[in-house]
Every structure is written in C-alpha cells, then in structure tokens.
A = this chain, B = another copy of it.
Amino acid sequence: METLLYDQNVELTTTQTMKALVYHGPGKKAWEDKPVPTIKAPTDAIVKIVKTTICGTDLHIMKGDVPTVTDGRIIGHEGVGIIEEVGKGVTNFKKGDHVIISCITSCGKCEYCKKGMYSHCEDGGWILGNLIDGTQAEFVRIPHADNSLYPIPAGADEEALVMLSDILPTGFECGVLNGQVKPGDTVAIVGAGPIGLAALLTAQFYSPAEIILIDMDENRLVVAKTFGATRTINSGAENTIDKIKSLTKGKGVDVAIEAVGVPATFELCQEIIAPGGHIANIGVHGKSVMLHLEKLWSQNVTITTRLVDTVTTPLLLKTVQSKKLQPNQLITHHFKLSDIVNAYETFGNAAREKALKVILTNE
C-alpha cells in the first residue's frame, strides 16, 4: 500500500530520468535512459553515484551466465556516492553524506545478519545489480541503507574506496580470514587477477613469511611482485607442484587461496597444501571438482567457501586510513561513466589491456 502510494507520486510528478547501463539479455547492453530511483521503504536511501567500477561477475552477467539477472536490469554492485535522499527510518546517514556502497545488502535484523553472515541476509545479500537495479547508473536505490552503506571519512581518497565495495572484502574475508593466515606462514594464491591480488594485499596484514602468486599471465605476476608477492610461479611455464614442494622442503603451503574458480586450480590447491593447512576458496565455480579424500582424509586440512559478507568493511576502512592498505594499486584505467561501454571493452580484454580495475566517474 505504501509502495503503491509512492508509485502514484512518481506518476503524478514529472518522472526524472537518468542514464544507466542496462542488461538486455546475453550479449546485449545499452547506456540508456531510466527513471531516477525513488524511496520505496523507510530504510532506503537514494545515492548519486560518484564513481563505480566493473566486476568480473558483470562480465558473466553480460554473457547470460547469471540467470537471476533479467532483461532491463541496471548492472553494477560497487561504487561510492553522495546521499541524495533517505527514508524516514534511516538514521546513520543524511543528504550530502559521502558513502561507500557495499555489494552486499544487509537488513541487520535477520538471523544471518545477527551472526555477521550478511551474504545470506534474508532480505538482502547480493541483490544490487542482480535482483534490483545497481550502481552503473547516475543514481541507485540502496535498501537497508543504515547497514549497507559506510560513511567516507573527510579527506579520504574516494576513488580508492570503490575497491572496498566488493573486491577487497572478498579477497580478505573469503581468502585471508578464512585461510587463517598467520605471521610466518607460507601462503600460495592461485590466480593473480584482481581478486587474487586483493587477497595478496590483505594477506600482508598478518605478516606471512612467503606469499607465492601462481598464474599463467606473466604480466600479472610482474604486478604481483610489486604488490608484495615474495615469489611468483608461471604455471604455464613451470611445474608448480614441484616448485612449491621444493620451496617448502616437501611439506606444502600453510594456506592455499583459490582465486580462479575452475577445477584445475582447486585441484592444484589440494596438491600443494601441507598437513594441517587451509584451502580457502574464493573462486565462483561453475562445475563440481574432485576432492581427493582418499589422500586428504588424514591430512587435517580445512576447506572453506564463502560469499563475501562485507562484515570487515569498517576494519578495511581503518587500514586504508592508516595507509596499511592502498587500494588504488588495483586501479589501472579511468573512464567517464558515460563511456562505460568502452570501459567494458577494456575490462573484458583484461590480459591484453593489462587491466585490473577500471574506475568510472560520473562527471
């Protein structure tokens, strides 16, 4: 009823329009006019996008791999912006506040949110740019704004904070925290794409002795070195398992972080894990993998999976403010938001373009 009322208002007043990137089925997208979103529930906020980015998941959506995304949906689940309007139930924010938009929507009051497992929020989770319209637009509606937005401290580098919407909490929570990285550990990260590199940056919070990055793209391995990898292995050119075994005196690594999402890389993690070690999966897998319990049953290993909860966003923000973490290292390209179709082209050819994350600015 309340929603109806709002919809009526929208129709009665002159509907404002904005530009947004809209999905129109596999392979089809357009930068087109859409109505500016309006408050639908008292806990909503409308945010004017300042900067956003493109995620690997968005590429999957565009291919038609994510069936929950339907024709007409505005894509995107990352960004920073300025509060345009808040519902009557929003108390943490007001018009004009600068905010980080979390990729995960959290109601703060369901069983899962109370446990800090926002990814499975009963009225949220990953819905932005998936079940509801997203951030690759001039404006976005954020439900449960008090729990799903984070205030940007005065003077912060807002562009860098776009990396806190998704990629850094993902690398940190699913990879580093689940992998239980400790001082002195030997850590292998399989996959040196943006997510693997986010795990690399945040693994250093815990001072492991070795962080070994494994990938087939030599350029990414060079980048990994500059981001703090102590060693790199080009798995296309070297025998990864032999090399890891020789580096670890035959024992294997304490933590293996899977940041690709295909059977071969998960298989590799099983081969290189030491007794008592942790395999932390970040990759979005499309197929089952073989789990070698005939070997692992006695190896005291722990395997974890996780959809990012973004429960560590406040912690990450503190590490950015204190310069322990420099998220802008992940940014390689800049575009105007209105030039997003070209940005997709660049990001979609990441290896060729040497692209990690692209920033889209709403000018």
Contact = CB atoms under 8 A, between A and B. Distances in A.
Nearest to A293: B285
A52 interface: no
Nearest to A298: B307
Contacts of A284: 297-298
Interface string A166-192: 000000000000000011110000000
A342 interface: no
Contacts of A294: 285-288
Interface string A84-128: 000011011000000000000001111111111101100100000
Contacts of A29: none
Given A42-B89, A209-B321, A302 B302 contact: yes
| Interface size classification for chain A | 35 or more
A205 interface: yes
Given A109-B92, A291-B290, A294-B287, A120 B261 contact: no
Interface of A: 2, 42-43, 88-89, 91-92, 107-117, 119-120, 123, 146-147, 182-185, 204-210, 230, 261, 266, 275-276, 281, 283-294, 296-307, 309, 311, 314-319, 321-322, 324
26 contacts: A88-B89, A92-B109, A108-B113, A108-B147, A120-B275, A120-B300, A184-B316, A184-B318, A184-B319, A184-B324, A207-B319, A207-B324, A209-B318, A209-B319, A209-B322, A209-B324, A266-B291, A284-B298, A286-B294, A287-B294, A288-B294, A296-B305, A298-B305, A298-B306, A299-B307, A303-B303
